Structure 1
Amino acid sequence: MQRQSFIVDAMLGRLARWLRILGYDTYYKNDIKDWKILKIAEETKRIIITRDRGLCNRAKKKGLPCELIQPGIGIEEMLVQLANNWKIDLTLDMAATRCPECDSILEQMGKDRWKCPKCSKEYWKGTHWITMQEIIIKAKAKVNTNGEEPDFARRLNVRHRNSVS
């Protein structure tokens, strides 16, 4: 099954890293301009993730899928929002993980070690792995499985996305 691909605006670098760790092809640059996000999303069929309401509105006018992330919510809530609205899989699977820095698929070097073939960074299951698993467990517990709009989205009146064709 082909997974969604995303493009994340400059305000959501931490979320871009998480999506990559979860195995999603995620385009992110911390200095990318809105016009470039729209162009790349259109050309590569990526879902735009942004905190910029104006960018989201321009994306919708162009018929591009977009998810508006509200200010003030943490990574756990962002992951829940994406799981509810885009059905992303909240599973930490090192066989699918991408480099959090450059988005390349990691290569396994040993039982618990991985290396990025592009930027040569090395990764392993250290104490940070436990923290990441805890965040994922908490997020999974909040994911809506009955098809209703999530509670935080109702409270904030959030549903700024187009369906993916």
Structure 2
Amino acid sequence: MGAMGAELCLRVEAGLLLFLAPRDRHDELRVSYDGVSSLGHVVESVGVPLPEVGSLLAGGRGVTPAYRPRDGEVVDVREMTRPQPVPTSRFLLDVHLGTLARRLRLVGVDTAYENDLDDDTLIERANAERRVLLTQDRGLLRRRMLWLGAYVRGARPEEQFDDVLGRFAPPLAPWSRCTACNGLLVPAHKDEVETGLRPGTRRSYDTFARCRTCDQVYWRGAHASRLQSIVERAERVVMTAAAE
């Protein structure tokens, strides 16, 4: 039987406050407690997905999400350290993160993305392929079946890009992946691809690459300087994250 009138004091670290309702974004949050639920359940009930939690301390002691706290206990909810150690640098993005997917592929990060996958399929694929699921759907991160996921911070693609690179510091290999399908690029001779090129492109460029998977052809065209700036930004963010 649960304890009547039991209460916990949660001290949620600043980086996790965005998950709380605006009225609850205080240094200390007092929540009612039934005396039987796990600490992980309590933390998620106030809005913080467990994949975003780096550690839990109850009375200053490290505990697991399965821990059952005592009435009146003070619990520190700390955010994930950065860069976050993960067993893989392979990612799967949900349907709302298409621009982020293309940017990650541009810098050579193994990034799966399709714009028509439902939540169950996303979880199944992330688990089967051992990819970290990146999403802004907090409910999706709370699904127990998901092996590993992360919330993407930021409304604009630039912010999201910096967040993912800073959080995971994945190894980069710019210009090595197809931004359309994630396949690997290989050098292609001009005479192999020129039949599909416009006359201006044939006259102006001599160096090409082709996707092994979908045959998309790439060259350093009019947008090369803008894309190069994205690559350089990524390299700076990852270098800074790795040095911390």
Query: Shorter-chain TM-score: what band?
Result: 0.7 to 0.9
Residue number among 117, 132, 135 corresponding to 1:50 in the alignment = 135
Query: Corresponding residue for 1:64?
Result: 147
Shift of 1:99: 1.1
Contact map agreement 2:102 2:180 (CA 8 A) in 1: yes
Query: Which residue pairs with 1:133 in the alignment?
Result: 228
What are the Cα deviations for residues 11-32 of structure 1, in whole angstroms up to 9, with x where unaligned?
Answer: 0011111222222222211011
Structure having greater relative contact order (Cα 8 Å, sep ≥ 6) = 1
Deviation at 1:98?
1.4
Q: Verify: 1:84 aligned to 2:169, yes or no.
A: no
**Which structure 2 residues correspond to residues 90-101 of structure 1 after superposition, within 5 A?**
90=172, 92=174, 94=175, 97-101=176-180
Distance in 2 of aligned mates of 1:3 and 1:26: 12
CA spacing shift, 1:136–1:77, aligned 2, 3 Å = farther
- TM-score w.r.t. the length of structure 2 is 0.51
Higher mean Cα deviation, 3-12 or 62-71?
A: 62-71
Give the letter aligned to residue 33 of structure 1.
D
| RMSD of Structure 2 on Structure 1 (CA) | 2.3
Larger radius of gyration: 2
Deviation string for 1:93-134 (max 9, x for gaps)? Answer: x3xx11111221112114631112332211011232211221
Q: Distance in 1 between matches of 2:178 and 2:235?
A: 22
Gaps of 5+ in 2: 1-86, 190-205
TM-score, L = length of structure 1: 0.73
Pairing of 1:115-126 with structure 2 (within 5 A): 115-126=210-221
Amino acid across the alignment from 1:40 = R
**Displacement after TM superposition at 1:145 (Å):** 4.6
Q: Is the 8 A contact 1:41 1:64 kept in 2?
A: yes
Q: 2:115 and 2:165 mapped to 1: Cα distance?
A: 24
In structure 2, the CA distance between the partners of 1:138 and 1:24, relative to structure 1 (3 Å rule), is closer
Structure with a larger share of its residues in strand = 2
1:146 Cα deviation after fit: 4.9
8 Å Cα contact 1:9-1:28 kept in structure 2: yes
Matches within 5 A, 1:108-119: 108-110=187-189, 112-119=207-214
Tell me, yes or no, if the aligned pair for 2:126 and 2:146 is still in contact at 8 Å.
no
Aligned identity (percent) is 29
**Partner amino acid for 1:108?**
P
Give the Cα–Cα distance (whole angstroms) in 2 for the partners of residues 71 and 27 of structure 1.
20
Quote the residue 2:184 is aligned against.
105
Native 8 Å contact 1:83 1:90 kept in 2: no
Give the whole-Å Cα distance in 2 for the aligned partners of 1:25 and 1:145. Answer: 19
